[in-house]
Structure 1
């Protein structure tokens, strides 16, 4: 009986270890709520929605990721799809044929991630960081990790926006 218990325990431990060491691309996926967002660009800051619907991330067979989100822009729902192309650097993805880079970092809280986007829009340099997680409720430890990350990247912590969680609306073209 002790041998059976030990075997099962070691097997479970091995499975858990394998899951923890699996590549980021295999662990990041599903439905995520945007819990916090910050940018250092005043134009973008004004455009950050006060209400945000969940983000859906799908792992593609080629190792790339697809992110879909819906924005309610003055009563009109628009769906956006973004392909994040895997690069040689762990956790770094290219968007829009290299115009922007997205770094995906884990927090110390399971299934909570920081998305850090750097790039250019219409010739203007942008930097945006978001904290995402699988539940709409705030997680104090994940929020603390995000504040630490934001500070290290040179963002103003006072500019962090906490969006209200909105239900996804249905785009007209669906």
Structure 2
């Protein structure tokens, strides 16, 4: 379950780095704020369950351009708090996480404030590819979804797209556990 939580959280974090970084001296806080996971897909099934619901990711820009993201996922009736750090690289739109075990590429869609996160790396000893569609608001956007589906076809994905439920908070009556 930890691997899935980390994978989902990683994809959420990277969305804001998809924007061109501000020029030197500009305010980098424009990348901070709420982002919503709208759709996701992976090329392999894992033993982990998909989240029953996700809260918006809160992104904070750290010194040096790295990002800290915080979100909560409801899995098996338990809310799991996820906090991740994404390290920027020297290549535009490429980021590293988990000690270099995961690479994340960010692709803006043709729709304002919507991005595709493409992740490659190892989960549970397998090489896995994932893609996620994220946006600034929780509403679905058909044009952004069409961009996402076109990207998936180009990458050879043929699995079913998962659309997580959104919530601003963990539902009452669920246990909340921090995830390291």
Shorter-normalised TM range: 0.7 to 0.9
Aligned partners of 1:24 and 1:91 also within 8 Å: no
Offset, 1:110: 1.1
Offset, 1:169: 1.6
Q: Deviations over 1:61-96 (max 9, x none)?
A: 211112221112333222111111011110110001
Is 1:23–2:15 an aligned residue pair? no
More divergent stretch after superposition (35-44 vs 96-105): 35-44
Question: 2:10 is matched with which residue?
Answer: none
Q: Structure 2: which 5+ residue stretches go unaligned?
A: 1-18
Question: 1:164 is matched with which residue?
Answer: 165
Query: TM (normalized to structure 2)?
Result: 0.75
Question: 2:44 is matched with which residue?
Answer: 41
Aligned partners of 2:101 and 2:122 also within 8 Å: yes
| Aligned-partner Cα distance in 2 for 1:80–1:150 | 26
- Within 5 Å, give how 1:7-86 maps onto structure 2: 22-23=20-21, 26=28, 28-43=31-46, 47-86=49-88
Give the count of matched residue pairs. 151
| Aligned-partner Cα distance in 2 for 1:66–1:168 | 19
- Within 5 Å, give how 1:146-161 maps onto structure 2: 146-156=148-158, 159-161=160-162
Tell me the C-alpha RMSD between the 2 structures: 2.3
Query: TM (normalized to structure 1)?
Result: 0.77
